[in-house]
Structure 1
Amino acid sequence: MEAYTHYGKQADVFKHLVLCEILKNEKPSIYVETNSACAMYRLEHTPEQELGIYHFLRESPLCNQLANSCYYNLENEALSNHNYYGSPALAMRLLGKTADRYYFFDIEKTSLENVSCFAEKESLENHIILRNCDSTKGVMDLLPALSKQTFIHIDPYEIDKEGIDGHTFFDLFLKASSLGMKCLLWYGFMTTDEKQKLDEYISSHLHKYAITNVLNIKLILNSIERDTIPCNPGILGSGLLASNLTEKSRLQFIELSHKLVDIYKDAKYKNHDGSLFCELQSMYLSGQPYQKSTFICRK
Structure 2
Amino acid sequence: MFQGEEIQKLVELLKERDAYLYHACQLLDFKSYLNVGGIPSRSHLESNSQPYTPFKTDQNDRANDDWDKVFANLSDFGFTFAGGYDAVPNIYGPILFQIKPEVFYEATDVAICLRSAGRNDFDREREALKSISEVDRLFKHPVDEPDKSKRSYVKTRKELEKDFTNASAPEISCTVESGKFSLEYVKLVRVEPYIIQGHHLEVKVKEIISKSGENLRVYKRTKSSPYTNELLKILESGVKLLQDISENSNVSEELRDWAKRVINRGIASQFNESFAPYLYNGTILPIIQGKL
- TM-score normalised by L of structure 1: 0.31
Q: Name which structure has the greater RCO, CA cutoff 8 Å, separation 6+.
A: 2
Q: Higher strand proportion, which one?
A: 1
